[in-house]
Amino acid sequence: MSMPVIELREVSRRYDGGPPALDGVSLTIRAGEAVAILGPSGSGKSTLLNLVAGLDRPSSGEVTVDGVRVDRLGEAGSARFRRAKIGMVFQFFNLLDDLTVADNVMLPAQLAGMARAAAQRRAGELLSTLGINRHARAYPGRLSGGERQRVAVARALMNRPALLLADEPTGALDTASGEDVGQLLNELHADGQTIVLVTHDLVLAESCATRTVQLVDGRVAADTAAEPVR
């Protein structure tokens, strides 16, 4: 059995004294898994993703990612943690419109201190692999939704993260583009990338995930706890 990449122990998150967005969630995700987090709006999916990425802190409980206690990190520490361990793909791509595709992809590596030339090489490889190298000097605004999400994936993979987090990666795409992105995630998983996918899209979850976790009202309602992929 492979090593756990994510370990959540009794994790709760409350906002401003309201009902818990997450309520005592415990979850372990191992290396190489592709896990889809499913649930209705307000079930706590994005909150869980934010806690794993170190974008937010739990009100109680422990969040450990690749051996790092994320819930104990400060702002600077969590930034460095994300650089090293996490790649993120968002529903609305979150590409920086004033940077070229190549510059967007290179950014995480450059923030980590990688020299521009080395970052360019790595970005070139990724863009080639993802089939969008011809757009390297273009600006995101000129690309289709599917192409933008490929750029976002390339950017997420730039620092060779232990974990790829995808928050509704097909939510803003048409059907064809959504299928394209699903295929891309499958390929990445096939190459051994651990993926946590938050989605409403059951088709995407079935096609990409080896395990599904159902959240309802901040609790784990169901977990297929699939056999480890490898």
Partner 1 sequence: MSALGKVVRSGVGRRRVQTVVIGLVVMIAVTAAVLGGSLMVASHAPFDRAFDQQQGAHLTAQFDAGKTTAAQLSASAHATGVTAAAGPFQTAVITPATNRGGPEGPIMVVGRADPGGSVDAVTLTKGRWVTGRGEIVLQTDLRLPQVFQPKPGDVLRLPDLPGSPTLTVVGTARSVSETAGGWVVPEQASTLTAAGAVGGYQMLYRFATAGTTAQVDADRAAVQASVPSGALAGTRSWLTTRINAGGNTVLFVPFLIAFGVLGVAMAILIIGNVIAGAVSTGTHRIGILKALGFTPDQVVRAYTVQALIPAVAGAALGVLAGNVLIVPILSQTNEVYGTNDSGVSPWVNVVVVAGALALVAATDWAAASRAGRLRTVEVLAVGRTPGPGRGHWAARLAARLPLPRPVTLGLAHPFARVLRSATIIAAIAFGAAAATFAVGLGSSLNQVQATESHGEVVVVSGKPESGPPPGGGPQVAAGPPPAPDPAAVVAAITAQSGTSGYSGVASTDVTAAGVTDPLEALAFTGDNSAYGYRMVSGTWFTKPGEIVVAAPFLTATHTKVGDTIVLTDHSTQITVRIVGEVFNIENRGMQILTAAATFAAAEPDLRAREYNISLKPGTDAASYVSGLNAALSAVDATAMTVEHDSDELILIINALTTLLTLMLVTVAALGVLNMVVLETRERVHDLGVHKALGMTPRQTVAMVIASVVVTGLIGGAIGAPIGVLLQRTIIGEMGRSVGFNLPASVINIYHAAELVLFGLGGLCIAVIGALLPAGWAARTRTATALRTE
What is the C-alpha separation between 80 and 83, in angstroms, rounded?
5
Collect all residues with Cβ–Cβ distance below 8 Å to 10 and sequence separation of at least 6: 24, 25, 26, 60, 61, 62
Binding of partner 1 by 80 (CB under 8 A): yes
Angle CA 81–98–77, to nearest 5: 15
Q: Which of residues 28-57 bind partner 1 (CB under 8 A)?
A: 50, 53, 55-56
Residue 139 interacts with partner 1 (CB under 8 A): yes or no: yes
Q: x/- string (CB under 8 A) for partner 1, residues 59-78?
A: ----------------xx-x
DSSP string, 158-190: TT--SEEEEESTTTTS-HHHHHHHHHHHHHHHH
> Residue holding tokens 């967007």?
104
For partner 1, the binding residue among 21, 27, 48, 88 (CB under 8 A) is 88
Taking the CA atoms of residue 183, residue 162, residue 48 and residue 154 in that order, the dihedral angle to the nearest 10 degrees is -40
User: Nearer to partner 1 by C-beta: 80 or 219?
Assistant: 80
Q: How near is the Cβ of 149 to partner 1 at its closest, in Å?
A: 14
Minimum separation from the CB atom of position 100 to partner 1 (A): 7
Site residues, partner 1 (CB under 8 A): 50, 53, 55-56, 75-76, 78-80, 82-84, 88, 90, 94-100, 103, 107-108, 110-112, 116, 139-142, 155, 159
